[in-house]
């Protein structure tokens, strides 16, 4: 393995911000991973595993080792009349995984087409889109437990999935590096009712074919209207989480804003639409510090000309303050911040 030194973090993350990483190494096997962690620990350095960098923002330098997980595998483990189960390496490009599963006629991840990054990143924040999320299909995953220095198998319950969260994202429980994920896919296509924007697209285009291939064709078209092309415009995708609030808070807001989008959530709570809140606060296309609220989707923050993490922090604080002033809700950042 080759340990590269002083690599710009802007080249490793899609928001294209950050200073220098002291070391960067690419791994392609579990043994590589063990050696990389040992390399960092022998030098008293922190380490951080990075996939495609599409859900991580870097604000400054990173004084430790960035491990680029590129462990590949794509293997059918079993199949019956209704399902098929596949083991997928953490370093497989996620959209390519979706493409191959859809080509096999399998349903369960087709609505997550077009999501950037690698397969091993999907359980970290329980990635989801248009009515599907990784927790729905995950059977188990294999991970290297850095606290015990051994490979372990974790069930979905072990992962403690919640909305855009898991044990892999919580700093207090984060000591696993995902090596592979095992997904069980269905041979039965998705059925309505669909996620609203997906349903609207199908209705507008008079589509009644709900096959995985058709859904996979529809989703990128929807995403193209609402999300920037990362090849041309720097972004970390959805920057703000949809807030989950107590029912009493939602009812009070609905009294003031009857048209506010809202969905029931577990525990007598409601999920609200962060993008709607930002729009209603008058921040559509808001631009400052070299960053902008994406005109086609207020959840997305794009980097137009920002040069530092401080620019992003200032921009974020301004958006959060305006929304809090109007609605009494504090928006939370969805992408993880790389520790300094």
Please give the full DSSP string across 238-255, using - where no structure is assigned.
Answer: E-BPPPEEEHHHHHHHHH
Yes or no: say if 125 and 56 are a contact pair by the CB < 8 Å rule: no
Q: Report the SS3 class of residue 225.
A: helix
pLDDT digits (tens, 9 = 90+) for 187-239: 999 998 899 899 999 999 999 999 999 999 999 999 998 899 988 999 998 99
* Active centre residues (catalytic): 164, 238, 334
- Sequence-distant (≥ 6) Cβ neighbours of residue 228 within 8 angstroms: 235, 294, 300, 302
pLDDT at 244: 95
Euclidean distance between CA atoms 180 and 141, whole angstroms: 6
Mean pLDDT confidence for 10-38: 96
323 pLDDT more than 90: yes
Q: Which of 44-53, 160-169, 288-297, 314-323 has the lowest mean pLDDT?
A: 160-169
Euclidean distance between CA atoms 295 and 228, whole angstroms: 10
Query: 10-21 as b/e, with b when 16 or more CB fall inside 10 Å?
Result: bebbbbbbbbbb
Q: Whose structure tokens read 């504090």?
A: 330
Q: Say what percent of the chain tops pLDDT 90.
A: 87
Euclidean distance between CA atoms 84 and 97, whole angstroms: 14
| CATH T-level fold of 234-337 | 3.90.78
Decide whether 4-69 matches 74-186 in CATH topology: no
pLDDT at 49: 94
Confidence band, pLDDT 50/70/90 cuts, at residue 44: very high
Mean pLDDT confidence for 273-301: 96
- Sequence-distant (≥ 6) Cβ neighbours of residue 181 within 8 angstroms: 87, 88, 90, 119, 120, 122, 123, 134, 138, 141, 142
Q: Quote the pTM value.
A: 0.90
Say which CATH architecture domain 74-186 belongs to: 2-Layer Sandwich (3.30)
What is the domain partition of the chain in residue ranges? 4-69, 74-186, 234-337
171 pLDDT more than 90: no
Class of the CATH-defined domain 4-69: alpha beta
172 pLDDT more than 90: no
pLDDT digits (tens, 9 = 90+) for 105-164: 999 999 999 999 999 999 998 999 999 999 999 999 999 999 899 999 999 999 999 888
Euclidean distance between CA atoms 131 and 127, whole angstroms: 11
Residue from 339, 320, 1, 336 nearest 169 by CA: 336
């Amino acid at each position: 393995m080759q340990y590269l030194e002083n690599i710009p973090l802007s080249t490793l993350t899609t928001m294209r911000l950050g200073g220098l990483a002291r070391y960067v190494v690419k791994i392609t096997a579990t043994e590589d991973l063990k050696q990389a962690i040992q390399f960092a620990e022998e030098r008293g350095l922190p380490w951080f595993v990075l996939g495609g960098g599409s859900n991580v923002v870097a604000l400054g330098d990173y004084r430790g080792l960035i491990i680029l997980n590129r462990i590949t595998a794509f293997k059918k483990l079993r199949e019956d009349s209704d399902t098929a189960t596949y083991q997928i390496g953490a370093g497989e490009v996620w959209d390519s995984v979706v493409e191959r599963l859809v080509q096999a006629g399998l349903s369960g991840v087709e609505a997550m087409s077009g999501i950037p990054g690698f397969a091993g990143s999907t359980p970290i924040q329980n990635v989801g889109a248009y009515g599907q999320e990784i927790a729905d299909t995950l059977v188990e995953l294999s991970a290297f437990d850095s606290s015990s220095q051994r490979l372990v198998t974790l069930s979905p319950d072990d992962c403690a999935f919640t909305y855009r969260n898991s044990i892999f994202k919580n700093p207090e429980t984060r000591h696993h590096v995902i090596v592979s994920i095992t997904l069980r896919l269905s041979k039965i296509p998705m059925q309505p009712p669909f996620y609203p924007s997906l349903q609207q697209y199908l209705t507008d285009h008079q589509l009644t074919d709900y096959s995985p291939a058709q859904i996979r064709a529809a989703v990128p078209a929807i995403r193209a209207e609402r999300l920037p092309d990362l090849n041309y415009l720097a972004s970390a995708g959805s920057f703000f989480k949809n807030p989950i609030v107590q029912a009493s808070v939602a009812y009070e807001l609905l009294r003031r804003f009857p048209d506010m989008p809202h969905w029931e959530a577990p525990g007598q709570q409601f999920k609200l639409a962060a993008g709607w809140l930002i729009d209603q606060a008058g921040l559509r296309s808001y631009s400052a510090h070299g960053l902008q609220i994406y005109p086609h989707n207020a959840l997305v923050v794009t980097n137009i000309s920002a040069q530092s993490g401080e620019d992003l922090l200032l921009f974020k604080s301004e958006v959060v303050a305006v929304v809090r002033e109007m609605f009494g809700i504090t928006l939370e950042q969805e992408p993880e911040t790389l520790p300094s």
